[in-house]
Amino acid sequence: MAYNKSNVLVGPATIFCDDAEMGWTSGGVTIEHTGEFYNVEVDQEPNPVKTFRVKEEFKVKTNLAENTLENLKIAWGIDVAIDDTTTPGYRRLAFGGSKAEADEHTLDIYGNAPGTPARQRKIHFYRAVAVEFGPLTMEKNKENTIPVTFTCLADPSQTEGKQVGYFEDQTVREYKALTCRVTVT
């Protein structure tokens, strides 16, 4: 295999929830893929002879640096609308006592992709739920971030093996030539 330094990726990611950018993050965006397996063991062999995946999980973790009501609503799983009509000049996000079923979102994460010139990678999750909220800490000389962890759920309407999401790399930077037609009368 030939080595290619353009395949070594460095740089931040941008996260979108329901097609809305969530703004700056602090500490990056982490995507975890874990699984549990069952090993079939038989008397005649010292090692397992077969393995089955019995659980698979995908999580997305980040700290939202932009402490907006919209980001708090998503990160804390708040299911009420932001109210900007109660008191003129104020916006209010009430919380506590949410319904049992969590709100689902689509997540898109954009970062660098391999190749030159610079290209973009998109990681799309069909269904994601905020499940870990972390502390909202306000302290002197430190930005207030909103920690959030999303669990990504399977979408049974998608084809088997493709039910959680996808990676998509931009492979070509294409610039279309603009054609201008002027009719003089």
- Statement: residue 64 has pLDDT above 70: yes
- What pLDDT sits at residue 181? 53
Q: pLDDT tens across 111-145, in order?
A: 999 988 889 999 999 999 999 988 888 899 999 99
Q: How confident is the model at residue 173 (pLDDT cuts 50, 70, 90)?
A: low
Report the b/e string of 69-106 with b at 16+ CB within 10 A: ebbbbbbbbbeeeeeeeeeeeeeebeeeeeeeeeeebb
Q: In whole numbers, what is the pLDDT of the chain averaged over residues?
A: 91
- What pLDDT sits at residue 179? 52
DSSP 15-26: EEETTEE---EE
Q: What angle do CA 106, 96, 98 make, to 5 degrees?
A: 50
Whether the CB-CB separation of 117 and 174 falls below 8 Å is answered with: no
Whether the CB-CB separation of 22 and 65 falls below 8 Å is answered with: no
- What pLDDT sits at residue 184? 60
Report domain extents, the chain.
Answer: 5-169
- What pLDDT sits at residue 22? 97
Nearest residue to 121 (alpha-carbon basis) of 131, 133, 109: 109
Q: pLDDT tens across 42-63, in order?
A: 999 999 999 999 999 999 999 9
- Statement: residue 21 has pLDDT above 90: yes
Report the b/e string of 134-153 with b at 16+ CB within 10 A: eeeeeeeeeeebbbbbbbbb
Lowest mean pLDDT among 22-31, 111-120, 154-163: 111-120
Whether the CB-CB separation of 62 and 28 falls below 8 Å is answered with: yes
Considering the entire predicted model, what is its pTM?
0.86
Q: How confident is the model at residue 99 (pLDDT cuts 50, 70, 90)?
A: confident
The fold of the 5-169 domain, in CATH, is Pnp Oxidase; Chain A (2.30.110)
CB-neighbour burial class of residue 107 (10 A; exposed 0-12, middle 13-18, buried 19+): buried
